[in-house]
Each structure stands twice: as structure tokens, then as C-alpha cells.
């Protein structure tokens, strides 16, 4: 294999997940990835692109994706074949706590001379604990590590101690923890994410390996891409480890930094060169203010947008805004996350808007031609009781009645799982928000991920719901919502049937796992085929999350070649 200067690896949530008996539960129902969380952080493409521009050869390997795609894929063999002086592993999402540390162990075993660096939000939070593992040499903290990683690569290349690399925690010659200041928190990010997909494409062509960069299972069939609008967030949802308070607390970001409307529009245009798939614009474009949002929409309207755009709004939107959006991107999709139907629960979760304003937004968006409107609800919130969750489903019925079963309306509910985000307000001040935190250390989380059911993996309970109630209520709510959607013809009877089977069997398996207890590994092992079958059943929610792609296929490889070669 051609040598790289840096290999960036994405681990599965649990390293040897294919051998374990774990009932995952509906923990990833509301995102495009499977419960193995095979999607790698977009930041990896940004890192790769920045470093390639600086003259380094970077390779991204989605190990989780490869392991999920084939049961015969030998992860260790591939890791041993890869060759680089520095391996980077993301521990961005806490769900990868087990996998990331184990992958580091295998890398060190295969390449004792190479260095291992871990990065991402969870790594930034647990950086000291991470350095206790002998297989980890460096942890790079922060939300923008492009330039610090370049400096680290330079130090590794020249055999220099990385004393001056900002944001870096490391072990010196005596094995002592060295904690360089978390000082690289740029308030201008125009020199990063210049053309992030270009780096990915270059890597595919150079290594003739598309399988290792596919962001998640099913992506080639449904090639959704993302465009980021900021680093940080202006909001303070109490359960979020990427809130304004969380960024201040452990990422040292005092102020959200926004990308310019021109750069966002450039990304959208660049993606249109190789993909016809939908583009998700991440972050409410109104966050930096109405003027930049208007400017972006004006540019898009002038240039014309080839792909379908999906946008999120963090609060209700005016009809003027929605009309401008429709003019810029005629078949746009929109999403909002009120979390609960109950404005009091919503307020306790850190969101302050009324149902009336939200419903008006839905009405205006549908009038403006919105091709799909997703509304996300959640289980596990402050002040939320099991009864309240079921009333949320009743509220969904109200929405379906009000909008006469409009098929463009997509209503979704899922659990806050498997983890309440470390660094979130609720995790940091549990008593204030009514949470009881069950797992505090990185190792606690790693072990919890190996538990046979997601009930034992949850790292929290609330004053209003025990772990068991969170699980039971989630299943109940999903079942009820499924029936409601089937009644209104929003999902096919077949889809509803699969979802019923999935949830009912999962509930039975929960009980079986409980009866077996921890002292009987053989009996648990015997359940594996059934557990795997249920884990593999796709949530109907995911089907709903996808937009029709149209007849045009992604001419990916050809487009890639023409992009890289400039032809």
C-alpha cells in the first residue's frame, strides 16, 4: 500500500461488535448511521484537506464502515498493512469510547514505532484519562485542530518534542503528562474547509479504495453530503455537549465562529459537481443574524442550486424567510427539534418557543413548497414523565389532523441515548436539571458499551424517569407513532409491520436478557442470532429520513477522476 504521512481512522462503537451479543436499541434511529455509529466526523475530511494542501499525504479509513459492510473484513489485517508515522483516531462521539481506544491498541501492536493521536469532542473532554492508556501518545483538543495537527506532524517528522503544538496533551520522555494550552480556537475559519470533499476524492483515487471513505452504510445509494455553517453554537440546549456553555467549558470557544455566506455557497456548488444527492446545511443559517442568512439565500438564488437542500431551524421561522428560502432552493426540506409537545418541558430543555409559532412555521413552509418537514421529538428530557412522552404522540396526531395528513410532514421520536453528552449542562450540573449521572469516567463508559442491552449502557436517569422507564416509554412511543403514521398513510403497512416486529421483539429480548442476568454468558451467546436480526432491522424512521433521489445516479468515480485530474 502507498505510504501515507497520516492515516485517519474511524472506529466502530465497540471494536469487536461482530462477536458480541448486544441489543443496541433505537439509539441511532434519527441519524443516517447504524447503531455501530459508522459515520465518521466530517472534521476528518477537513483535516485531510488542510494537510494535503500543506503537502502531506493523508488517508481516511472508515474501519467501522468496512467492518459493518462485510463480516469477513479483517480489521487487524488492514490496520497492520497500513503504513504511516502517525495514526489519528477520532473519539468525537462518546459512543466510540470502546472502539477508539481498542483500535489504538491494535495500531500500536502492529506499528510500535508509529505515534497515535486521538481527537474530537469526547477526546477533548476526557483527554487526561486517555493518556493513561499506553497505546495513546497524544490527544489534540479543540473544535478546530487543522493547524495544530499540521504542527504535530511537523514535530513527529523532525523527531522534535511537540512542546509548542497548541491544544496538545502528551506524555514526555519520563511518561509525565504535558498539557500545552488550549489556545488555538480560531475566530476566522476561512482557511479551513476550503473544499473538504476534494481531499476525500483524492484519497479514493490515490488508494483505489472507495469502500474506506464511504461515510455510512447505504451512502452510495443515498449520497447525502453536508455543509457546515459554523463551529460552536449560540444556543444552550441543556442535554447538548455542543452547546454554547459546553464549547466554553471544555473547548475554550468563547464565541461561535461562522463561515461566510460566500464560502457556504461555494461548498454547495462544489458538491454539485460530483453529486446529485441532497445536501444537508448544518446549523441554522440565521444564527449569525438575518443579514448573512439573506445574503446566502440571495447568492443561491442567483447561482441556482442543483441539489436538494435540507436545512435546520433552531427556532420558528418567519414566512418572509421561508419564501426567500423557497426562491433559492425550490424543493427544500426543513427540520426542527421541539423535543417535546409540552412547552414547559421544552423550556426546561433550553428551548423557548411556543407550539403556535412552530405550527405557523410548518404551515408557512408547506405553503412555500417545502418538500419535506421533519419534526423531531425526544425521550429523556428534564421534567418529562412517561405520561408526557405519550402525550407527545397525541400531539403528533393533532399535527396530522391540522395538516390533513400532509405526506410532507415527517414526525419522529427517539431516545436521548445511549449517552447524555459529557460537557452538557445536564451532565455538568445534574442536580439543577434533575439528572442522575450513572457513568462518570471514560472507562465506565467503555465498559457500559459492552453491556448486553442499551438499558445498561444509558449513562443517566432523570428525576422523572428511571432507565427502565426511559426504555419502556421509548418503545411504547415508537409503537404508537408508527401506528399513527400507518393510519394516516405516511408509511406503508409493510413498513409499519416491520417496525412493530422490531419493537415487540426488542421488548421480549430485553426481558430475556434480564432473566439471563450477568452470570450466564452461554445463554446470552445463544440469543445472538435473534439479537443480531433485530439490530439489523432498519428503523422506518431512517427510510423517512431519506429523500427520493430521482433517476439520476451518482457518477461518483468518474466525477472524482475529473475533479482530481482537472479534466
Q: Which of residues 91-150 bind ligand SF4 (CB under 6 A)?
A: none
Q: Which of residues 154-193 bind ligand B12 (CB under 6 A)?
A: none
For residue 231, the cross-strand partners are 257
> Is 42 an interacting residue with respect to ligand B12 (CB under 6 A)?
yes
Q: Which of residues 312-371 bind ligand SF4 (CB under 6 A)?
A: 314
For residue 115, the cross-strand partners are 86
- Select 386 or 422, whichever has its Cβ closest to ligand B12: 422
Binder of residue 211, out of ligand SF4, ligand B12, none (CB less than 5 to 8 A by kind): none
By rule CB under 6 A, what string of x and - marks binding of each residue 91-110 to ligand B12? -xxxx---------------
One DSSP character per residue, 10-28 reads E--SSTTTTTS--B--STT
- Select 180 or 243, whichever has its Cβ closest to ligand SF4: 243
Do 149 and 44 form a contact (C-beta atoms < 8 A)?
Answer: no
> Is 258 an interacting residue with respect to ligand B12 (CB under 6 A)?
no
Do 207 and 2 form a contact (C-beta atoms < 8 A)?
Answer: yes
Q: How far is the CB of 314 from ligand SF4 (least distance, A)?
A: 5
> Is 268 an interacting residue with respect to ligand B12 (CB under 6 A)?
no
With H, G, I as helix, E, B as strand and everything else as coil, classify residue 202: helix
Instruction: Give the residue, chosen from 186, 218, 242, 330, that forms a contact with ligand B12 under the rule CB under 6 A.
Output: 242
Q: Which residues contact 548 (CB under 8 A, 6 or more apart)?
A: none
Q: How far is the CB of 539 from ligand SF4 (least distance, A)?
A: 21
For residue 230, the cross-strand partners are 258
Binder of residue 28, out of ligand B12, ligand SF4, none (CB less than 5 to 8 A by kind): ligand B12
Q: Cα-atom radius of gyration of the chain, to the nearest Å?
A: 23
Q: How far apart are CA 312 and CA 229, in angstroms?
A: 11
Q: Which residues contact 450 (CB under 8 A, 6 or more apart)?
A: 14, 20, 22, 98
By rule CB under 6 A, what string of x and - marks binding of each residue 17-36 to ligand B12? ----------xx--x-x---
Do 88 and 60 form a contact (C-beta atoms < 8 A)?
Answer: no
Where on the phi/psi map is residue 41: left (φ > 0), alpha (ψ -120 to 50), or beta? beta
Instruction: Give the residue, chosen from 169, 240, 420, 458, that forms a contact with ligand B12 under the rule CB under 6 A.
Output: 240
Binder of residue 145, out of ligand B12, ligand SF4, none (CB less than 5 to 8 A by kind): ligand B12
Q: How far apart are CA 372 and CA 408, in angstroms?
A: 4
Q: How far apart are CA 226 and CA 298, in angstroms?
A: 20
Q: In what order do the strands lie in the sheet with 6-10?
A: 58-62, 6-10, 86-90, 115-119, 138-140, 168-171, 177-179
> Is 144 an interacting residue with respect to ligand B12 (CB under 6 A)?
yes
- Select 161 or 489, whichever has its Cβ closest to ligand B12: 161
Binder of residue 138, out of ligand B12, ligand SF4, none (CB less than 5 to 8 A by kind): none
Binder of residue 39, out of ligand B12, ligand SF4, none (CB less than 5 to 8 A by kind): ligand B12
Q: Which of residues 192-231 bind ligand B12 (CB under 6 A)?
A: 226, 228, 231
In 3D space, the residue among 111, 210, 307 whose CA is nearest the CA of residue 561 turns out to be 210
Residue 498 grid cell: 416491520
Q: How far apart are CA 354 and CA 359, in angstroms?
A: 9
> Is 287 an interacting residue with respect to ligand B12 (CB under 6 A)?
no
> Is 272 an interacting residue with respect to ligand SF4 (CB under 6 A)?
no
- Select 236 or 319, whichever has its Cβ closest to ligand SF4: 236
> Is 120 an interacting residue with respect to ligand B12 (CB under 6 A)?
yes
Q: How far apart are CA 373 and CA 367, in angstroms?
A: 11
Q: How far is the CB of 285 from ligand SF4 (least distance, A)?
A: 13
Q: How far apart are CA 331 and CA 366, in angstroms?
A: 10
Q: Which of residues 413-472 bind ligand B12 (CB under 6 A)?
A: 421-422
Which range touches ligand B12 (CB under 6 A), out of 107-115, 140-148, 179-187, 346-354? 140-148
Which residue of this chain has its Cβ atom nearest to ligand B12 in the complex?
43
Binder of residue 314, out of ligand B12, ligand SF4, none (CB less than 5 to 8 A by kind): ligand SF4
Binder of residue 204, out of ligand SF4, ligand B12, none (CB less than 5 to 8 A by kind): none
Binder of residue 235, out of ligand B12, ligand SF4, none (CB less than 5 to 8 A by kind): ligand SF4
Q: How far is the CB of 415 from ligand SF4 (least distance, A)?
A: 15
For residue 23, the cross-strand partners are 453
> Is 403 an interacting residue with respect to ligand SF4 (CB under 6 A)?
no
Total of residues contacting ligand SF4 (CB under 6 A): 8
Question: How many CB atoms are closer than 10 A to CB 513?
Answer: 22
Q: How far is the CB of 349 from ligand B12 (least distance, A)?
A: 12
> Is 137 an interacting residue with respect to ligand B12 (CB under 6 A)?
no
- Select 170 or 488, whichever has its Cβ closest to ligand B12: 170
One DSSP character per residue, 472-514 reads HHHHHHHHHHHHHHHHTTSS-HHHHHHHHHHHHHHHHHHHHHH
Q: How far is the CB of 436 from ligand B12 (least distance, A)?
A: 19
Q: Which of residues 209-268 bind ligand SF4 (CB under 6 A)?
A: 233, 235-237, 240, 242-243
Query: Which residue shows C-alpha cell 445509494?
Result: 221
For residue 121, the cross-strand partners are none
Do 227 and 268 form a contact (C-beta atoms < 8 A)?
Answer: yes
> Is 386 an interacting residue with respect to ligand B12 (CB under 6 A)?
no
Sign of dihedral through CA atoms 469, 470, 474, 475? negative
Q: Which residues contact 2 (CB under 8 A, 6 or more apart)?
A: 57, 206, 207
Q: How far is the CB of 336 from ligand B12 (least distance, A)?
A: 14
Q: How far apart are CA 466 and CA 461, in angstroms?
A: 5
Looking at the chain, how many residues does it have? 567
Residue 80's Cα: distance from chain center in Å? Answer: 28
> Is 482 an interacting residue with respect to ligand SF4 (CB under 6 A)?
no
Please give the residue ranges that form the binding site for ligand B12 (CB under 6 A).
27-28, 31, 33, 37-39, 41-44, 46-47, 88-90, 92-95, 117-122, 140, 143-146, 149, 226, 228, 231, 233, 240-242, 282, 421-422
Please give the residue ranges that form the binding site for ligand SF4 (CB under 6 A).
233, 235-237, 240, 242-243, 314
Amino acid at each position: 500500500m502507498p505510504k501515507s504521512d497520516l492515516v485517519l481512522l474511524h472506529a466502530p462503537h465497540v471494536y469487536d461488535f461482530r462477536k458480541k451479543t448486544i441489543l443496541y436499541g433505537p439509539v441511532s434511529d434519527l441519524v443516517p448511521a447504524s447503531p455501530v455509529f459508522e459515520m465518521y466526523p466530517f472534521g476528518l475530511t477537513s483535516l485531510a484537506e488542510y494537510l494535503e494542501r500543506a503537502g502531506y499525504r493523508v488517508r481516511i479509513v472508515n474501519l467501522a464502515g468496512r467492518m459493518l459492510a462485510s463480516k469477513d473484513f479483517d480489521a487487524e489485517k488492514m490496520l497492520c498493512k497500513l503504513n504511516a508515522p502517525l495514526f489519528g483516531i477520532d473519539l468525537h462521539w462518546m459512543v466510540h469510547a470502546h472502539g477508539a481506544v481498542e483500535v489504538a491498541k491494535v495500531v500500536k501492536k502492529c506499528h510500535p514505532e508509529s505515534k497515535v493521536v486521538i481527537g474530537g469532542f469526547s477526546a477533548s473532554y476526557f483527554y487526561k484519562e486517555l493518556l493513561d492508556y499506553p497505546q495513546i501518545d497524544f490527544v489534540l483538543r479543540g473544535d478546530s485542530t487543522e493547524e495544530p495537527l499540521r504542527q504535530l506532524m511537523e514535530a513527529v517528522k523532525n523527531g522534535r518534542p511537540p512542546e509548542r503544538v497548541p491544544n496538545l496533551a502528551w506524555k514526555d520522555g519520563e511518561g509525565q503528562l504535558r498539557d500545552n494550552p488550549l489556545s488555538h480556537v480560531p475566530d476566522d475559519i476561512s482557511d479551513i474547509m476550503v473544499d473538504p470533499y476534494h481531499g476525500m476524492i483524492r484519497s479514493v483515487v490515490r488508494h483505489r479504495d472507495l469502500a474506506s471513505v464511504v461515510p455510512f452504510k447505504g451512502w452510495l445509494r443515498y449520497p447525502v453530503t453536508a455543509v457546515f455553517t459554523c463551529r460552536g453554537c449560540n444556543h444552550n440546549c441543556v442535554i447538548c455537549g455542543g452547546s454554547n456553555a459546553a464549547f466554553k467549558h471544555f473547548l475554550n470557544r468563547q464565541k461561535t465562529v461562522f463561515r461566510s455566506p460566500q464560502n457556504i455557497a461555494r461548498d454547495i456548488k462544489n458538491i454539485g459537481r460530483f453529486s446529485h444527492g441532497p445536501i444537508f446545511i448544518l446549523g441554522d443559517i440565521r444564527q449569525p443574524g438575518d443579514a448573512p442568512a439573506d445574503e446566502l439565500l440571495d447568492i443561491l438564488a442567483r447561482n441556482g442550486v442543483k441539489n436538494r437542500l435540507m436545512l435546520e431551524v433552531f427556532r420558528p421561522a418567519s414566512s418572509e424567510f421561508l419564501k426567500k428560502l423557497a426562491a433559492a432552493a425550490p424543493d427544500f426540506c426543513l427540520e426542527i427539534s421541539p423535543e417535546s409537545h409540552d412547552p414547559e418541558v421544552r423550556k426546561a430543555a433550553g428551548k423557548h418557543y411556543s407550539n403556535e409559532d412552530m405550527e405557523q412555521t410548518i404551515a408557512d413552509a408547506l405553503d412555500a413548497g417545502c418538500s419535506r418537514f421533519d419534526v423531531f421529538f425526544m425521550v429523556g428530557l428534564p421534567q418529562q414523565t412517561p405520561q408526557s412522552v405519550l402525550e407527545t404522540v397525541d400531539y403528533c396526531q393533532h399535527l396530522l389532523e391540522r395538516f390533513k395528513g400532509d405526506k410532507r410532514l415527517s414526525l419522529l421520536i427517539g431516545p436521548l441515548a445511549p449517552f447524555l453528552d459529557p460537557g452538557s449542562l445536564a451532565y455538568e450540573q445534574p442536580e439543577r436539571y434533575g439528572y442522575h449521572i450513572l457513568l462518570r469516567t471514560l472507562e465506565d463508559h467503555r465498559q457500559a458499551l459492552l453491556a448486553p442491552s442499551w438499558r445498561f449502557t444509558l449513562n443517566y436517569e432523570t428525576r422523572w424517569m428511571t432507565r427502565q422507564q426511559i426504555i419502556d416509554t421509548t418503545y411504547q412511543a415508537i409503537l404508537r407513532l408508527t401506528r399513527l403514521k400507518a393510519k394516516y398513510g405516511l408509511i406503508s403497512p409493510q413498513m409499519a409491520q416491520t417496525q412493530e416486529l422490531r419493537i415487540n421483539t426488542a421488548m421480549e429480548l430485553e426481558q430475556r436478557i434480564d432473566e439471563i442476568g450477568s452470570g450466564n454468558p452461554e445463554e446470552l451467546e445463544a440469543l445472538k442470532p435473534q439479537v443480531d436480526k433485530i439490530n439489523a432491522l432498519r428503523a422506518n424512521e431512517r427510510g423517512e429520513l431519506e429523500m427520493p433521489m430521482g433517476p439520476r445516479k451518482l457518477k461518483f468515480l468518474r466525477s472524482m477522476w475529473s475533479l482530481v485530474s482537472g479534466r
